[in-house]
Structure 1
Amino acid sequence: MRDATKPIDNRNEAGERILAGRRTSPRSAVGETALRSELGEDLASLLNTVELAAIEDISDFEQVGGSILNFGIPDLTAITASPEASRRVAVLLRQRLELYECRLVPGTIAVSAEPLDDSASGQLRFHINAEMYSTPTDIPVEFVADVEVESGKIRVFRL
């Protein structure tokens, strides 16, 4: 209809401009399943991104350490599967989730390491429990993160 170049100047009775909405139907609510799925994908991206500080000295730049420029986690390829490493990585994961994942309610994030056994050699497993902001009530979420010690890759799946 070649109306893209025509100026639109719709006004109400008071003379104020009327702005048209981008959608013809009102916004629909996003379901809990979709919220959980998107959070799981973003957690996997966060946990599989190596932070800038792992390859670059940022000690002269105090604010970069906690900024989006340092998004990710330290390189995990040098760790060995041990109870001490499990505790350190659990603390690290909780800190990074609190820092970079704003959909999780602060203070509700708990990361616990699963005890090591002989069948899981070369792999650490962590259970992540938290509450995700939502309306009218926050949603409890639970994920499992498997860390392959040799490659440093983390696989996140939802329970």
Structure 2
Amino acid sequence: MNRIRTTKRDRFVPPVMHAFREAFRMRDAAKPIDNRNEAGERVIAGRRTSPRSAVSETALRIELGEDLASLLNTVDLAAMEDLSGLEEVGASVLNFGMPDLAAIVANAETAQQIGHVLKQKLELYERRLVPGTVVVVGEPLDDTASGQLRFHINAEMYSTPTDIPVEFVADVEAESGKIRVFRL
């Protein structure tokens, strides 16, 4: 079996959520494990402890990409309910997601507004991004845009032993409001 050699410099400590995701991927979260040593004492199974060990930068980026796609394609509560006077609700997980972007008009003013909202929502809900490092830059619109807005996003992702610079692209489809995240 070919294994890629890694050094301590390219291995990172995963967030706690990684353990739950790994158990889900392995489909073993609900399987009972009752390993015992010679003395009859219970031993924690290796497959349940391994997600807590170091992972690659690529694995961290993949998980971040999945979560960013979920965040950016979830419509927030404010799209359905008037949250005037409920500022704490507007900034809570109850309002997780983006405003409804379906049927937006792709123009420079809209692009600027969506860029501002993207930055605000990423800083509010994606806690792995280092505050103050999120930079959202909209790509200039041209005749070939075909109802699509593109944003280049740079930030730093918290990690141990060192933070990881991340850069990705978010394409907003004007008709459906779907956001595609790639190049992470």
Q: Which residue of 1 aligns with 2:144?
A: 119
The alpha carbon displacement at 1:109 in A equals 0.3
Q: Is this contact kept in 1: 2:154–2:168, CA < 8 A?
A: yes
Q: Which residue of 2 aligns with 1:56?
A: 81
The alpha carbon displacement at 1:20 in A equals 4.6
The alpha carbon displacement at 1:150 in A equals 0.6
Q: Deviations for 1:124-148, whole angstroms, at most 9, x for unmatched residues?
A: 0000100000111100001100000
**Distance in 2 (alpha carbons) for counterparts of 1:21 and 1:59:** 50
Q: Is this contact kept in 2: 1:122–1:150, CA < 8 A?
A: yes
Q: Which residue of 1 aligns with 2:31?
A: none
Q: Is this contact kept in 2: 1:40–1:158, CA < 8 A?
A: no
Q: Which residue of 2 aligns with 1:23?
A: 46
Give runs of aligned pairs for residues 36-115 of structure 1, distance below 5 A. Answer: 36-115=61-140
Structure 2 regions of 5+ residues with no counterpart? 1-33
The alpha carbon displacement at 1:63 in A equals 1.4
Q: Deviations for 1:61-109, whole angstroms, at most 9, x for unmatched residues?
A: 3311011011001011242111111111101000000000000000000
2:171 paired with 1:146: yes
Q: Is this contact kept in 2: 1:145–1:154, CA < 8 A?
A: yes
**Distance in 2 (alpha carbons) for counterparts of 1:57 and 1:87:** 23
The alpha carbon displacement at 1:22 in A equals 4.4
**Distance in 2 (alpha carbons) for counterparts of 1:60 and 1:84:** 27
Q: Is this contact kept in 1: 2:170–2:182, CA < 8 A?
A: yes
> Once superposed, what is the RMSD of the aligned Cα atoms?
2.1
Greater percentage in helix: 2
Structure 1 regions of 5+ residues with no counterpart? 11-18
Q: How many residues align?
A: 145
Shift in alpha-carbon separation, 1:149–1:28, aligned structure 2, 3 A: same
The alignment-based identity, stated in percent, is: 70
Q: Is this contact kept in 1: 2:74–2:98, CA < 8 A?
A: yes
The code of the aligned residue for 1:49 comes to: T
The alpha carbon displacement at 1:56 in A equals 1.4
